[in-house]
Amino acid sequence: MATGTSEAKVTTDHDEIREWVEERGGHPAQVKGTELLRIDYPGFSGEQKLEEISWDEFFKAFEENNLAFLYQEETKDGKQSRFSKLVDRDKA
């Protein structure tokens, strides 16, 4: 029987987002030359296109763009998941 931990969750809570990202070794970033927000993880292919920003900068843009954080705690096989996505808060 499924425990539901692999299902996606949505939050706008800054502390919850920061804790989830940092537990997985990630940090806030944006695509170079744009204001597109991303979460960057060491060793991923986006390193050359992303620049690290502060959590304050990230959350300022997060709120200005009316975003929500869609994420998954665990993969279906019970491993820690890094799946996350920034989505429009009104559609989340």
3-class secondary structure, 19? helix
pLDDT (mean) for 10-17: 98
* CB-based contact 73:85 (threshold 8 Å): no
Rounded to two decimals, the pTM is 0.86
pLDDT (mean) for 63-69: 97
pLDDT (mean) for 37-50: 80
List the chain domain ranges: 9-88
Quote the CA–CA distance of 12 and 26 in Å, as a whole number: 18
Model confidence at 48, pLDDT cuts 50, 70, 90, reads: confident
**How distant, in Å, are the alpha carbons of 25, 67, 85 from that of 44?**
12, 23, 15
Quote the CA–CA distance of 33 and 49 in Å, as a whole number: 9
